[in-house]
A and B are shown apart, each in its own frame.
Chain A
Amino acid sequence: MTQGIQGFAPQKRIFSHRGQHFSSACLSCSDFANCCGSKSTAELGTEFDGASPTKKKGLSRRNALKIMGGVSAALALAPFAATGSFLIPTISTKFNPVLIAKKEDVPVNGSTVFWFPFTTDPTYTNMLIHLPPDLAAKTGQEFVAYNRTCIHLQCLVSYLSNSEIIGCPCHGSEYRPTDGWPVAGPAAQIGRYLPSVKLRIDGDNIYAESVNLDLIGYGSDTPPS
């Protein structure tokens, strides 16, 4: 025994617990539960003082139970994630065609406003434009229809016959009536097409067939087909 050379070092004691031997230094060890101790008392006296614990490989039973509890709680709460969908209402994406106007109701270079597909929000208002001959020749269509919600900050745009342009009253954005591309104002910086309403012309009657609801007030990356 080399301890207590000058009489200052404390006396190291050895005690037994469950068939293992521990140094008294183990009492100040923070990880006592994982200390495996020593098989013989002789080891403790010489090289191994028992104060440096060797961790058992793998999980202790206590920690395994803790993890199990955590996993169980997570599994119990997981189904509630689906209730998030409660907050987002489902909205129909299939609409019945609606008769919006007769051809003779909309004069050349004129427009009319119609609600489609719902009547619950002004962002569901659209405009049917009877293109003037030069623009109609360019697109190959006499009638076009766009959603009126400006892609900038959701004000309602209108067709301005005098300047043959679609204009927003709030911040001065302007769109081409031929394809709904923003040509001026803050919407031009965003650069997305005004969502178009798909039309079906049946003789004299004009029907609105569909519009992509997710693009309302946001804009479309593709031109109207």
Chain B
Amino acid sequence: MAATRPPPSEEKNPIQLLIDWLNQRLERTIFMGLKFTLPRKFVSPLGFLGFLTFTTFALLGISGALLMLYYSPTVIFNTATGAVTSPFDSVQNINNVVPFGSALRNIHYHASNAMVLLAVAHMFYQYFSGRYKLRYEVLWVTGIVIGILTIIEAYTGYDLLLNVRGMLAINIGRALARSTPFMGPEAFRLMAGTGLADLILRFYAVHVFIFPMIMILIMMVHFPRYMVLDIPVVSMVAGAIMVIGGLFPVELGAKFIPTAEAGITMPEWYLTGMYAIIRTGIDRFIAGAVIPMIFVIVFLVVPFIDTSRKLFVRDRPFYTAMGVAGLGQLALTTVWGFRANNIFFPLDSIPQLEIDPFIFFGSVIFIGAAAYAIVYLWLKATAPPPGSRPMHARKQFPVYKLSQNEWRAVVISLLGFQVLFDIYSFQAFLASFKNVVLLQIGVGLIAFGILVHLYRIGAE
């Protein structure tokens, strides 16, 4: 039998032929300008956090486009009856009535959180590994711009619900725009239009089209030529978003009605840092615009100040310590946004909202200085003696090789697991256990990721 088989090089099935044909034609397109690497073994996801951020962006695009089919940005106040027609009604409809609507909303919400988190992690990883200077400047600056756009995009998104929490964010945003020292009324009108209906419509246009388009344009510059498309990790991140969505479904909140009593609501976690600064009661424009801008500008100019050729974390004690200090300040302000005027107590009454600016800024400066000093001194103390060339050898992880039978058993049980979960999730869908459906889709995606990983290590 073996003798009659043609040599493997001549053996090409129609699918391979089609892929070859397509590959040759795609060389004429812009698509081939990007080099995708499909890693043949496990590589650390820290190296392609940017691509994972883009994955969540794509997930947001798909889920967002579908949500648009049912979302309505209409705001009408009936002054006679006090009734409010609000986008909240349409979101409530998506959440409670539209089949699979709550799952899509959950995916959209949790993917937005994941995108902000991954973008911040990506930025700090690139920072600590020195990939912001020495020809990385354009990638770094465009990355920071996309990061800011991402946060504004998320902000406009959660305001579109027009629940009490969204209204708080809208009010703070409007108050900040109006408090601009020059062109204040114009900045306010630019954002708010002539009323809340205008504002929601503007936020909607910005959220679903204008900003995503600008982000895609900047991404064209920001994308490096060589990219890692790690299918197992990508599908596991998507799966994790859905599992979290199933376990912790996002709440609708309370509908905003002008006559209702406003309680204490907090902005999303990526804005609580800014919220904490505003709560100190210093001038709003300084709190909400100048201080965040200083933070951004420091990051923007780093590659133009640090032009040394050293890249390794331990070789750059000053910049490493500065990065840790910035991270510490970011964490402190973010946590404080959720807490009372004393960070050690939860926020549960209105008088606790006001934070003493001396204590607040004192502790922010203290934590920055302490983090800087500790990291800097530690790096200096443990630095190798001058003249010796430090070896930054990679750690070798022990690899367990599966035997043929073990491999077969794992793959078959994973496939069986997926089949079972598909049936189970369909059943849950029929029984309208919405969160269970989402959870199971996520688990299925994670199983797929593990399977692809097994395929590639088995194919070696």
**Chain A residues in the interface with B (C-beta under 8 A):** 87-89, 91, 115, 118-125, 152-156, 169-172, 186, 189, 214, 217-218
Contact = CB atoms under 8 A, between A and B. Distances in A.
Contacts of A217: 174-175, 178, 188
Contacts of A155: 171, 262
A116 B354 CA distance: 32
A172 B351 contact: yes
B350 interface: yes
B196 interface: yes
Contacts, number: 76
Given A88-B189, A89-B194, A91-B194, A153 B77 contact: no
Contact of A186 (B190, B199, B281): B281
B83 to A, nearest CB: 12
Given A91-B189, A171-B353, A218-B179, A122 B77 contact: yes
Interface string B191-222: 01111111100000000000000000000000
A218 B77 contact: no
A153 B194 contact: no
A199 to B, nearest CB: 19
A120 B77 contact: yes
Contacts of B281: 186, 189
A118 B194 contact: yes
Chain B interface size, as a band, is: 20 to 34
A214 B194 contact: no
A120 B175 contact: no
Given A88-B190, A125-B258, A170 B350 contact: yes
Contacts of B261: 169
Interface of B: 75, 77, 79, 168, 171-172, 174-175, 178-179, 184-186, 188-190, 192-199, 258, 261-262, 278, 281, 284, 350-351, 353-354
A154 B194 CA distance: 15
Contacts of B258: 122, 125, 156
Contacts of A214: 185
Contacts of B188: 217-218
Contacts of B190: 87-88
A171 B354 CA distance: 8
Contacts of A124: 195
Contact of A89 (B77, B185, B198): B198
A189 B354 CA distance: 12
B127 to A, nearest CB: 33
> A-side binding surface: helix, strand, loop or mixed?
loop
A171 B198 CA distance: 26
A120 B84 CA distance: 11
A172 B77 contact: no
A169 B263 CA distance: 8
A154 B175 contact: yes
A54 to B, nearest CB: 37
- 10 closest pairs, A vs B, by CB? A120-B195, A121-B195, A154-B171, A122-B258, A121-B196, A214-B185, A88-B189, A153-B175, A218-B178, A115-B79
B79 A119 contact: yes
Of A125, A156, A171, chain B has the most CB atoms within 10 Å of the CB of: A171
A118 to B, nearest CB: 6
A30 B194 CA distance: 59
Nearest to A154: B171
B185 to A, nearest CB: 4
A217 B187 CA distance: 13
Contacts of A172: 350-351, 353
19 contacts: A115-B79, A118-B194, A120-B77, A120-B194, A121-B196, A123-B196, A153-B168, A154-B172, A155-B171, A155-B262, A156-B258, A169-B261, A169-B262, A169-B350, A171-B353, A171-B354, A172-B350, A217-B174, A217-B175
Contacts of B262: 155-156, 169-170
Contacts of B278: 153
Contacts of B192: 121
A154 B189 contact: no
Contacts of A152: 175
B45 to A, nearest CB: 40
Contacts of B186: 88
A152 B185 CA distance: 16
Contacts of A119: 77, 79
A73 B237 CA distance: 47
Contact of B184 (A156, A170, A186, A218): A218
A154 B174 contact: yes
